[in-house]
Amino acid sequence: RPRVLSGIQPTADSFHLGNYLGAVRQWVALQDTHDAFYFIADLHAITVEHDPKLLRKRTRVSAAQLLALGLDPARTTLFVQSQVPEHAELGWVMQCLTGFGEAGRMTQFKDKSAKQGGMVSVGLFTYPILQAADILVYRPEFVPVGEDQRQHLELTRDLAQRFNTRFGKTFPLPEPYILKDTAKIYDLQEPQAKMSKSASSPGGIVELLDDPKVSAKKIRSAVTDAEREIRFDPEAKPGVSNLLGIYSALTGRTVDDLVNAYDGKGYGDLKKDLAEAVADFAGPVRDTVKSYMDDPAELDKILASGAQRAREVAAATLARVYDRVGFLK
Ligand code: TYM
């Protein structure tokens, strides 16, 4: 079975709809047909200032959400990045293959460092290189992510190619796996910007673990436009188109079908129905997360066994890499 690999940062109390529709939903679908490796990127989470207690909690809540959303640890290797030291070890080798200017061109770094109030860490600068190592250490064929990760995937492919050229063919070039319709879910308050844990105002993100009343209120207050017509036109009507896209993804109904069904109805109707769809979807997820968090020992056990499985693969790749760059056995 072809291998897939992806990760998510534990930097919020809850995943949002962008994380789910853009990435995690594909993770769940791919585990049936692929050899799947998914992890919580806690090493990446410390590239900005953080609270250790909160990080520990968010790492567990992230794992609990992935399980609640349908990852099956019997079929899928689910683990925490820091429990597999080979990521950081390969990361160093990859740093030594990356140009300073090349790293400086990463747009997420430019955005995040510009917004950063205090110190900008070197770790934030080398973040994409660690991400390349995260991926390459498993030698996957596909990496299911949202559109915002595309540039990091390109860097990953460049580094893999460079390593192969210098030291002999070692890495297959991983392909981004990005579904067009859900590649970018937008902020409800600012429908030109992506929904984002760090950048969005709280009103603009729908969090899976929010109270349904809170989500309903956010959806009700979503920015639309001065027209009244429900139609899909991301250029002219980014707000309404985003709501239609989310609703379509959650219910499996096509956008065309929805546009027909809402012919003659108002934005309020669409928002009300979307809020209901979100509540129906998120309710069971919230319950399952709660039961995992009530007994984190079970969760920690799943993660420990995932890390063990991940290390077998990662250690084999790292040994090959170390040998090829000329380190002693
Ligand atoms: P992170 O934690 O920001 O996001 C996790 C996943 O959610 C996707 N995503 C979105 N998709 C559509 N619309 C949105 N508004 C939206 N917001 C987020 C992201 O594209 C991502 O797939 N650098 C990564 C974590 C990472 C990683 C890796 C991913 C570390 N190492 C190796 C893949 C492979 C990140 O910060 O994702």
What is the predicted pLDDT for the residue at 176? Answer: 98
DSSP string computed for 18-34: HHIIIIIHHHHHHTTTS
The DSSP 8-state label assigned to residue 166 in this structure reads H
Percent of the chain with pLDDT over 90: 97
274 φ/ψ angles, rounded to the nearest 5 degrees: -65, -40
> Tens digits of per-residue pLDDT, 157-174?
999 999 999 999 999 999
**Span 234-249, mean pLDDT?**
98
Q: How many whole angstroms from 149 Cα to the centroid of ligand 1?
A: 6
> Tens digits of per-residue pLDDT, 97-117?
999 999 999 999 999 999 888
Query: By alpha-carbon position, which residue is closest to atom 20 of ligand 1?
Result: 146
What is the predicted pLDDT for the residue at 292? Answer: 97
Could you give the residue ranges of the DSSP H alpha helices within the chain?
17-19, 25-30, 42-45, 52-68, 86-95, 100-104, 107-115, 122-136, 150-167, 212-220, 238-251, 255-261, 267-294, 296-325
> Tens digits of per-residue pLDDT, 68-86?
999 999 999 999 999 999 9
Place 288 in a pLDDT band, splitting at 50, 70 and 90. Answer: very high
Place 209 in a pLDDT band, splitting at 50, 70 and 90. Answer: very high
Rounded distance between C-alpha atoms, residue 258 and residue 254, angstroms: 6
Q: Is the pTM of this model over 0.95?
A: yes
With tokens 């969760």, the residue in question is 299
Residue ranges at the known binding site for L-tryptophan: 134
pLDDT at 200 over 80: no
Q: How many whole angstroms from 150 Cα to the centroid of ligand 1?
A: 10
State in Å, rounded, how far the first CA of the chain is from the last one.
Answer: 31
Decide: 265 and 272 in contact? Cβ < 8 Å.
no
Which ipTM was obtained for this model? 0.99
Beta bridge partners of 8: 40
Query: By alpha-carbon position, which residue is closest to atom 7 of ligand 1?
Result: 19
What is the predicted pLDDT for the residue at 153? Answer: 98
With tokens 């030594």, the residue in question is 96
* Mean pLDDT, rounded, of the chain: 97
110 vs 201: which has the higher pLDDT: 110
